[in-house]
Amino acid sequence: QVQLVESGGGLVQAGGSLRLSCAASGTIFSINAMGWYRQAPGKQRELVATITTGGSTNYANFVKGRFTISRDNARNTVYLQMDSLKPGDTAVYYCNALVVKVPTGPMFSYWGQGTQVTVSS
């Protein structure tokens, strides 16, 4: 099995910063893209940012210039540095990883349990 464990959420004032971490463990041969998604109450889950093994990144327009995604391939860990936070960023943030368990095997999508980020005005 594969587990994704997130950390770093919390309560912060508008304009503040938080750094989320997500570590993958278990039966892992390789991890392709890793990413962060978020879901606010009453809304659908939406993409925040993704990063490939080679470091190519993709961001949602609403976080460009404020959030930075990075990863440590040796540690199977992805990070999300969130700066200039706004009340509208309040949501549960989920980590996602596309994992290959054995050489030439299929790719599976795994999710973390989510971490709450609350931004007060």
Q: What is the per-residue pLDDT across 68-97, written as a single tens digit (0 to 9) for each?
A: 999 999 999 999 999 999 999 999 999 999
Phi, psi of 24 (to 5 degrees): -100, 140
User: Cβ of 14: how many Cβ atoms within 10 Å?
Assistant: 13
| Residue pLDDT tens, the chain, 121 long | 999 999 999 999 999 999 999 999 999 999 999 999 999 999 999 999 999 999 999 999 999 899 999 999 999 999 999 999 999 999 999 999 999 999 999 999 999 999 999 999 9
d(CA 63, CA 49): 8
Q: Is 56 exposed, middle or buried (0-12, 13-18, 19+ CB in 10 A)?
A: exposed
